[in-house]
Amino acid sequence: MTTVTEPPEEDGSALADGRPAQTVQAPEAPHREPARSPGTPPPAAPDDDTDEHPSPPGVSRALLGSLLRPHKWRTALAMGVILLQQAAVLAGPLLVAFAIDRAIPALRRDDSGPLIAVVCVYIVCALASGLLQALFIRVSARVSQDVLLDLRGRIFRHAQALSLDFHERYTSGRIIARATSDVDALRELLSEGLEELIQVALSAVYISVVLLALDWELGAAAAASFVPLYFIARSFRRRTREVYRRTRTAVASVIVRFTETMNGIRPVQAFRREEANDKEFHRLNSAYRRANGDSALEMARFVVSARTMANAVIAAILVWGAYRVADGGLELGVMAAFVLYLRRLYDPVDRLGMFLNSYQSAAAALDKIAALLANRPAVPEPRQPVPLPAPQGEEPGREVVFDGVRFAYREGVEVLPRFDLKIPAGQTVAVVGATGAGKSTLAKLLVRFYDPTGGRVRLDGVDLRDLETPELRRGVVMVTQESFLFSGTVAENIAVGRPDATREQVEEAARAIGAFDFIAALPEGFDTDVRKRGGRISAGQRQLVAFARALLADPAVLILDEATSSLDIPGERAVQRAMHTVLAGRTAVIVAHRLSTVEIADRVLVMDAGRIVEDGRPAELIGGTGRFATLHRAWRDSLV
Amino acid sequence: MSRNPSHLPSKRSPVRSLLRLRPYVRPVRVRLLASAAVATVASCVGLVIPLVLKEIVDGPVAHGDPGGVWWPAALVLLLGLAEAGLFGVRRWLVARPLAGVEASMRADLYRHLQRLPTSFHDRWASGQLLSRATSDLSVLRLFLVFPLVFLLVNAVTFVVGIVVLLSQDWLLGLVLLLPTAPLVVLCSYFETRYALAARKAQDQAGDLATVVEESVLGIRVIKSFGRHRSMARDFWRRSRELRTTELRKAELLADIWAVIMTLPEVAIGSALAIGATRVADGELTAGTLVAFLTTALALRWPVESLGWLLAYSNDAASAADRYFEVMDTPTTPDAPETGDTGDIADTGDTGDTADTADTGGTPMAADPPRSPRTPKAPAAPDGIRFEGVRFRYPDAPEGSPDLLTGVDLHIRSGETMALVGATGCGKTTLTALLPRLYEATGGRITLDGVDIAELPRHRLRKLVAVAFEEPTLFSATVRENVAMGAPGAGEAALHKALTTSQADFAHGLPQGLDTEVGEQGLSLSGGQRQRLALARAVVGQPRFLVLDDPLSALDVHTEALVEGALRQVLATTTALVVAHRPSTVLLADRVALLSNGRISTVGTHHELLDSSPAYRELMSGERSPIR
């Protein structure tokens, strides 16, 4: 019986901790767009991994609780097993005491019964402690692995659900740090630390009870010794909390720098950045080293004070016990048991320190993770999703309406002043204009990377905000300038457009866009692994793959955001030829700085400073005297 | 979808893997040894305490003389304090040095990775590299802090404890020794299986890191296609695989724990039976039995710890394997820094002083012998010459033809050559050979008559500046990003470069040239990034310039402005420009057409338009009628 379930079908990571997604708790930090935003302030924290949202206290504990709750029965089982196991382990000294005080005198009376009984019980306890320990490890490993699985999944899904402006702010390295290094810290706590704590705590309770039962005076003295131990542990915790926070931050900075270098290795080498990078890395690495060293030194302090305390208590109880035995107030065996128990009681004090260490480290990591998970997606899923109406007629295209839309960055820089725009189903619209005119923002509103600040964007009358992601992506798909390839084969990369596509469909899409020949010429054709981010596939070829993806996705509305920039002229022509058939009946928005793409458009929008300044058929505009006519002449001149 | 090219089952023994850590441990070996010695003493002090206990029980307590308990009790206290102090000292000794070992291993890894050839990075997913630099190295640090020392300490404690036991009563001692042999056998059986699982888990964790990384770097594609659910499924599948392996590890651990806990306890139980009988018979004092059992119980920790010490050592061994897999990959040997390659005019370099000390990362003890020099360059600089250059990717499948099959091309000094060819024909690869990001597999390339294979890479890359197809900006200020093309470039040069590439928008950024850009800074558009990357390439007024489709992301208007300014730069350098469009081609004096791995034609744009149907097709997109 496994309590693990498939990831929730709805895009529910935002809801994972029970909060409604609708509370769009907007991050305070400036929202930025990848494109031109020269007026925006720089990001809050460039180099170090400080969260702009330190999570309120208790959030990480609530997170841990929500992770453990589904496993409460299994956790209870593990607790039960460990209770029994510790009872079996700790019976040992008690049995020794019984053997010395009862069985030996009985033996002297030629009664071997008690001894045989004691030894049998001892061996049964030995077997039980071993087997229960094994059972405990299995059960608790299940719990902790399931918790980690859950946590990893939550981080991953949440990061995927968060909107682009978040990703642009948070940096990839830090998300990677959350999902790897920080989860590792929790893994350590769950797989080793927690077990230690349970065992230490349980044996402390058991031993105290046994000691009190054996002799309440000595027992009370031993129990009293927990008080200073508690204070020592508490001060250790307080001192290390800061150290561990520094550790998590430092390791994240190291990760950020590391990934940036590895992902940009070509320019690093070509521009001889190795030395400078080494220096910078050394700085970050040293901060991490110092934090690690500090935590180890704190641990040394803790071990010294805790052990000193423990050994002093043992010596004191020894003297007192000896007096009592000599008085006849205490049996010799009881005193022996006492000393055995006390040694055992304080033995795991090192391990307690290690637990506190991993706890501290995990707590710091959980804080960071909780802060990440506390970010609400700025583009939330609808609460009451609405389906798209059935397509009207044969054509796949749908009507797009920008209804009083305006868009501004959070800090108020207006990119698109209020405008209305209607694109009838099946129309191909080219959007042109200078860098920074707002072309890409228009596209990003239509693909719902952002929501408009005012007004609404409607697809066949339905507000984009009311569409669930799968429905939205059946409606609108965008091909961007940067065509990222994932690890895997070329075929798999094209199938990103439609995962259930057959091989024939994948090849058909590649053929339609003119990518078939180069793919077929690769060493293993469509099954060629693109390696790391397509090291061997040129930028132009990557754009063709990205196009094939979009064709395969077969959307009602296709957006091309400067998607042909790296193609050579034959490639671009092939794409244009393909577009004639592909775009037939589909609604398309083409953002382009190359005017050659415009030739296939039914309509051209010229944008300037966020406004649509010209709108008409290409031939009309070219023939006119407006900006487009000027742009077009310049482009003509740039050709052969 | 293997993300890690070297999933080889580790046949090496864990001990040998761990021994490879020696060079890193050497600087701290004194402290590490001292720490082990201190820990051993402390641990043995702990063993003496039961002996004192015996004296108390058999002496003052048995004789009803409580006053006599004071001295032994003081001794117990003293020993206890010594034990505590020593354990503290041991930790203090290694706290900083071992954090230093981890840091220096990480720095070395980073340093090495930066210098590995690009082809290495093509093969290795960076998630796998990252997991080596973080998780694996912290496993190794923790291994040095605890398991390594305690394998030794616990072994010594065990031996000393057994000697103490035997000296107290040899029969009881032997009973306790009995389970040792089966324990050793079972542990080694366990160890081999656990090692495999540990390695698998680490590799799977690396794969998981790769998925995370790609999901973040490819977020735009994922969002455009609404694919986050299938990404999540992929991630889910991989994390379930990792979970399965981790559970397998836990099962192995559980089994070994069961054995390690049970066997010694059974032996102690038997010793209790025998001991009690002998006390009853008067052959043994009660104090001896108490001391014996106390000692035996004190030995439980060293024995029980064996399970996780072994497990941890195995984790550490496979972490070391993974680390050294990367470290063992050789960097391509570099030409010696002879210092007199100055026959190449180093015209525009302003930042010479900053670089002279560099030896490309491989420190050399003595001046290496001079390599035979190519004939002195002619008085007039020769430009760039490709002679029969061949290239194939090291991991290209056998039997496939070379990508470049003999490129012959001469770019005269001061000339700008456009390189055109069909998509995927090897243009970018050819340009990557010039700064030796890849090494040509045949033929040679000379710069002003000097074979680039004989130039130290560092020097070569100072001579050759590149603007890549994909403009990558680093997390640094605009100023730093541009100036990395020519360390030490003055403000004037910087401004000039920005003007050339029409990147004057940089002055208008919130902090002007000091605005942080790159992943951790302000996001710029593709066109803006491309213009900054271009500024970076031209800022040092390099002798040789390689531009890979440098204007692709610019709009028509900006493109025209950049072209105008770039012409002036190109007039003073020898340049190779990969071109996709006529407008870029027109920057060049001549055009070379790359097809089927060779340069098929060279000529001016108009010559080639007239003479080469293939060229015409590339430039106009119209298939030419067959003549």
CB contact under 8 A, A11 and B212: no
Q: Identify which of A281, A449, A539 has the shortest CB distance to residue B469.
A: A539
Same domain for B82 and B191, yes or no, is yes
Q: Is the pLDDT of residue B460 over 50?
A: yes
Could you tell me the pLDDT band of residue A429, with boundaries at 50, 70 and 90?
Answer: very high
A385 contact B CB<8A = no
Average pLDDT over residues A158-175: 80
Task: State which of A321, A338, A373 marks the end of a domain.
Answer: A373
- Assess if residue A20 is contained within a domain: no
- In 3D, which of A344, A332, A346 has the Cα closest to residue A129? A344
Task: Identify whether residues A322 and A416 lie together within a single domain.
Answer: no
Residue B624 pLDDT > 50: no
B356 touches chain A (CB under 8 A): no
Please say if the pLDDT value at position B501 is more than 80.
yes
Inspect the interface and report whether the beta carbons of B254 and A138 lie closer than 8 Å: yes
User: Looking at the structure, do residues B271 and B174 belong to the same domain, yes or no?
Assistant: yes
Q: What is residue A348's predicted lDDT score, i.e. its pLDDT? A: 67
Asked if B485 has any chain A CB less than 8 Å from its own CB, the reply is yes
Q: Is residue B81 part of a domain?
A: yes
pLDDT in tens, B151-173: 888 888 888 888 888 888 888 88
Residues in chain B, how many? 627
Q: What percent of chain A has pLDDT over 90?
A: 9
CB hemisphere CA count around A544 (13 angstroms): 33
Domain count, chain B: 2
If asked whether residues B51 and B185 sit together in one domain, one would say yes
- Contact between chains at A523 and B397 (C-beta distance less than 8 A): yes
Helix (H), strand (E), coil (C) string for B275-309: HHHHHHCCCCCHHHHHHHHHHHHHCHHHHHHHHHH
Indicate whether B307 belongs to any domain. yes
> Chain B within 8 Å of A532 (Cβ-Cβ)?
yes
Q: What pLDDT was estimated at residue A27?
A: 35
Residue A357 lies in a domain: yes
Could you read off the pLDDT of A599-621 as tens digits, one per residue? Answer: 788 899 988 888 888 888 888 88
List, as ranges, residues 415-444 from B with C-beta within 8 Å of A: 420, 422-424, 427-428, 432, 435, 437
Cα distances (angstroms) measured from residue A418 to each of A442, A452, A606, A608: 12, 10, 16, 14
CA dist., res. A137 & res. A82, Å (int): 9
- Tell me the CA distances in angstroms from A338 to A50, A93, A207, one per residue in order: 50, 8, 9
Cα dihedral: A563, A566, A570, A573 (round 10): 20
- Identify whether B135 is part of a domain: yes
Those of residues 421-450 in A touching chain B at CB distance below 8 A are 434-436, 440, 447, 449
Pairing of strands A454-459, B404-411: unpaired
CB atoms within 10 A of CB B65: 12
Q: Of A312-316, B368-372, B554-558, give the lowest mean pLDDT range.
A: B368-372
- A401 band by pLDDT with thresholds 50, 70 and 90: very high
Instruction: Give the nearest chain A residue to B97 (CA atoms).
Output: A293
- Residue A15 DSSP label: G
The answer to whether the CB of A402 falls within 8 A of the CB of A420 is yes
Mean pLDDT, residues B226-251 taken together: 88
Q: What percent of chain A has pLDDT over 70?
A: 88
Domain end: B311, B327, B343, which one?
Answer: B327
A486 with B218: Cβ contact below 8 A: yes
Tell whether A261 and A408 lie within a shared domain: no
Q: What is the mean pLDDT of residues B435-457?
A: 89
Across residues B130-141, what is the average pLDDT? Answer: 86
Residue B152 lies in a domain: yes
Residue A36 reports pLDDT greater than 70: no
User: Does B221 sit within 8 Å of A483, measured CB to CB?
Assistant: yes
A508 plus A622 within the same structural domain: yes
Examine residue A44 and state whether it is found in any structural domain, yes or no.
no
- Shared-domain flag, residues A314 and A214: yes
**CA end-to-end distance (rounded Å), chain B:** 47
What pLDDT score does B338 carry?
59
Q: Domain check: are A109 and A167 in the same one?
A: yes
Q: What is the pLDDT of residues B65-77, one digit of tens each?
A: 767 777 878 888 8
Residues B83-121 have pLDDT tens digits of 888 888 988 888 888 888 989 999 999 999 988 888 888
How far, in Å, are A126, A557, A577, A578, A604 from residue A584 at the CA level? 79, 11, 11, 10, 17
| Distance (Å, whole) CA B95 – CA A295 | 8
**pLDDT above 80: residue A392:** no
Q: How would you classify the pairing of strands B590-595 and B416-421?
A: parallel
Q: Are residues B130 and A262, on separate chains, in Cβ contact within 8 Å?
A: yes
* CATH for B37: 1.20.1560.10
Q: Is the pLDDT of residue A14 over 50?
A: no
Domains of chain A: total: 2
With respect to residue A202, please indicate whether it lies within any of the assigned structural domains: yes
SS3 readout for B98-133: HHHHHHHHHHHHHHHHHHCCHHHHHHCCHHHHHHHH
Q: In sequence order, what are the beta bridge partners of B451?
A: B446
Is B299 within 8 Å of B157 (Cβ atoms)?
A: yes
Are A406 and A364 in the same domain? no
What's the CATH code of the domain at A180?
Answer: 1.20.1560.10
Asked whether residue A357 falls in the same domain as residue A411, the answer is no
Whether residue A344 sits in one domain with residue A410 = no
Q: What percent of chain B has pLDDT over 90?
A: 12
DSSP secondary structure, B226-281, as one string? T-HHHHHHHHHHHHHHHHHHHHHHHHHHHHHHHHHHHHHHHHHHHHHHHHHHHHHT
Q: Pick from B308, B327, B346: which residue ends a domain?
A: B327
Farthest CA pair distance, chain B: 123
CB contact under 8 A, B217 and A301: no
Give the model's pLDDT for residue A400.
Answer: 92
**Mean pLDDT, residues B132-139 taken together:** 86
Same domain, A183 and A234: yes
- Where is pLDDT greater, at A578 or A128? A128
Instruction: Choose the mutation target among B98, B135, B423 for the interface with A, i.e. most A CBs under 10 Å.
Output: B423
Q: How confident is the model at residue A320 (pLDDT cuts 50, 70, 90)?
A: confident
Task: Tell me: pLDDT of A286 over 60.
Answer: yes
| Nearest residue of chain A to residue B43 (CA atoms) | A347
* Separation between Cα atoms, residue B98 and residue B96, nearest integer Å: 6
Q: What's the pLDDT tens digit per position in A49-75?
A: 555 455 566 777 888 888 888 988 988
CA of B584: how far to CAs of A543, B409, B500, B564, B611, in Å? 20, 19, 15, 11, 20
On average, the pLDDT of chain B sits at: 81
Q: What is the CA radius of gyration of chain B?
A: 35
Is A275's CB within 8 Å of B552's CB? no
Both B158 and B291 in one domain: the answer is yes
Look at residue A46 in the predicted model and tell me its pLDDT: 37
Range of the structural domain that residue B560 is part of: 384-468+538-620
Question: Quick one: A70 and A174 in the same domain?
Answer: yes
What is the C-alpha separation between A261 and A281, in angstroms, rounded? 10
CB contact under 8 A, A532 and B226: no
Q: Is B399 on the interface with A (CB under 8 A)?
A: no
- A102 within a domain of the structure (yes/no): yes
Rounded CA separation B401/B391 (Å): 10
Domain ranges, residue A87: 64-373
Subunit contact B110:A470, Cβ cutoff 8 A: no
pLDDT at B389: 93
For residue A273, give the nearest of B455, B372, B361, B623 by alpha carbon: B361
Do residues A606 and A519 both lie within one domain?
yes
Q: Mean pLDDT over residues A497-517, rounded?
A: 87
pLDDT of residue A31 exceeding 50: no
Backbone angles phi, psi at A76, to 5 degrees: -65, -40
B123, B276, B505 ranked by CB distance to A104: nearest = B276
Contact B114 A261 (CB under 8 A): yes
Which pLDDT band, with edges at 50, 70 and 90, does A353 fall under? Answer: confident
pLDDT digits (tens, 9 = 90+) for A198-237: 777 887 788 788 888 888 888 888 888 888 888 888 888 8
Other CB atoms within a 10 A radius of the CB of residue A4 amount to 15
pLDDT of residue B590: 93
Strands A557-561 and A414-423 turn out to be unpaired
User: Is pLDDT above 80 for B80?
Assistant: yes
A638 pLDDT higher than 70: no
The Cα A52–Cα A25 span in angstroms is 13
Is residue A540 in a domain?
Answer: yes
**pLDDT tens-digit profile of B364-397?**
334 444 444 444 444 568 889 999 999 988 777 7
Give the ranges where B299-381 is alpha helix by DSSP (H): 300-327
pLDDT of residue B380: 67
* A304 lies within 8 A of chain B by CB: yes
Structure tokens at B70: 């004071």
Residue pairs between chains A and B whose CB atoms are closer than 8 Å: 582
- Kindly indicate whether the ipTM for this predicted assembly is greater than 0.85, answering yes or no: no
Q: In CATH, what number is assigned to the domain containing residue B434?
A: 3.40.50.300
The mean per-residue pLDDT over the stretch A320-348 comes to 75
Give B409→chain A minimum CA distance, Å: 22
Q: At residue B129, does pLDDT exceed 80? A: yes
What is the rounded CA–CA span in Å between residue B447 and residue B460? Answer: 9
Residue B556 and residue A631: Cβ atoms within 8 Å? yes
Q: For residues B82 and B177, state if they share a domain.
A: yes
The residues with which A454 forms a beta bridge, in sequence order, are A406
Distance CA B319, CA B330 (A): 19
A554 and A604 co-located in one domain: yes
Mean pLDDT (whole number) for B541-563? 83
- Is the pLDDT confidence value at A262 over 50? yes
Average pLDDT over residues A407-422: 83
Residue B361 lies in a domain: no
pLDDT of residue B242: 92
B516: in domain:
no
Q: How far apart are CA B530 and CA B554, in angstroms?
A: 8
Residue B87, min C-alpha distance to chain A (Å): 7
Record: contact B276-A260, CB cut-off 8 A: no
Q: Are residues B269 and B389 in the same domain?
A: no
Write the pLDDT tens digit of every residue in B562-596: 888 888 888 889 999 998 888 888 889 999 999 88
CB-CB neighbors (< 8 A) of A272 in chain B: 355, 358, 458, 461-462
Residue B495, C-beta contacts closer than 8 angstroms, at least 6 positions apart: none
Residue A43 forms contact with B (CB below 8 Å) = yes
Does a structural domain hold residue A604?
yes
Question: Which candidate from A319, A435, A479 shows the least CB-CB separation from B73?
Answer: A319
Is the Cβ of A18 closer than 8 Å to some Cβ of chain B? no
Domain boundary among B307, B327, B347: B327
